[in-house]
């Protein structure tokens, strides 16, 4: 494992598998694991309520504070980010500065299948398929800044974790 890297940061659209793959990476590497959505829910309240109370921009400010505090800790860790963490330039810069940034991708059809039964994502509620297509179009270049891109459409979460570890060992 590349000795200088102390953070692996997973970015990507909702349902690309950041939370799932982060658990496998943490287990396999023996590193700590944090998920910005989970930290927000533990400290601030549920994401849906935060969107209702503060709006998306209020949520983004909370998310940015949580992300930066996770990035600035000294310990070796895997950080799964929320799908919209990449929208703020200051977040992108901080992620590139502090670790190895991996963008998970998947095609829209697979994402819809993965997220359709889950009501925890406020931006997808209602017309889930329509919302996935619309937001994917808005964010089509939002994940391009990452050091590595990995298409998880036909990969299992374990295969994705293995490929990230292989990329780090090169
Ligand atoms: N490679 C994969 N193949 C099949 N299903 C997957 C894969 N990765 C994740 N999933 C499933 O898709 C769903 C969403 O995964 P997950 O919560 O990890 O996505 P996420 O990227 O963290 O989303 P969000 O941005 O909303 O936090 C889960 O039910 C998970 O089991
Ligand atoms: O892509 C997004 O904007 C979001 C993704 C989720 O991880 C949550 O952070 C929230 O539902 C918003
Ligand atoms: Mg997640």
In this prediction, residue 73 carries a pLDDT of 93
Is position 78 within any domain?
yes
Residue 1 lies in a domain: no
ipTM over 0.90: yes
Distance 34 CA to ligand 3 centre (A): 10
The CATH number of residue 46's host domain is 3.40.50.300
35 lines ligand 1 (CB under 6 A): no
Cβ atoms 3, 76 nearer than 8 A: no
- Kindly identify the ligand whose nearest atom is closest to the C-alpha of 47: 2
Q: For residue 170, what pLDDT is reported?
A: 80
Per-residue DSSP letters for 16-39? SSHHHHHHHHHHHHT-EEEEHHHH
Domain for residue 2, yes or no?
A: no
Q: Between vectors from CA 148 to CA 64 and to CA 31, what angle results, nearest 5°?
A: 65
Phi (first) and psi of residue 103, to 5 degrees: -100, 120
Q: What is the mean pLDDT, run by run of 10 residues, along the chain of 170 residues?
A: 82 98 98 98 97 97 98 96 98 97 98 95 96 98 98 98 94
CB atoms within 10 A of CB 42: 10
Residue 99 lies in a domain: yes
Which domain does 86 fall in, by range? 7-169
User: How far apart, in whole angstroms, are the C-alpha atoms of residue 157 and residue 21?
Assistant: 5
Per the document, the length of the chain is 170
CB-defined site of ligand 2, < 6 Å: 14, 37, 47, 82-84, 121-123
């Amino acid at each position: 494992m590349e000795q200088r890297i102390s953070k692996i940061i997973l970015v990507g659209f909702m349902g690309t598998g950041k939370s799932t793959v982060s658990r496998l990476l943490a287990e396999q590497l023996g590193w700590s694991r944090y998920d910005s959505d989970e930290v927000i829910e533990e400290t601030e309240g549920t994401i849906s309520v935060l969107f209702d109370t503060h709006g998306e921009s209020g949520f983004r400010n909370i998310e940015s504070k949580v992300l930066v505090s996770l990035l600035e800790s000294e310990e070796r860790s895997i950080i799964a980010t929320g799908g919209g963490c990449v929208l703020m330039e200051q977040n992108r810069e901080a992620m590139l500065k502090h670790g190895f940034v991996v963008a998970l991708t998947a095609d829209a059809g697979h994402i819809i299948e993965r997220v359709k039964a889950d009501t925890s994502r406020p931006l997808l509620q209602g017309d889930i398929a329509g919302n996935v297509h619309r937001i994917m179009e808005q964010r089509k270049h939002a994940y391009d800044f990452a050091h590595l891109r990995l298409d998880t459409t036909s990969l299992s979460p374990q295969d994705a974790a293995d490929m990230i570890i292989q990329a780090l060992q090169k």
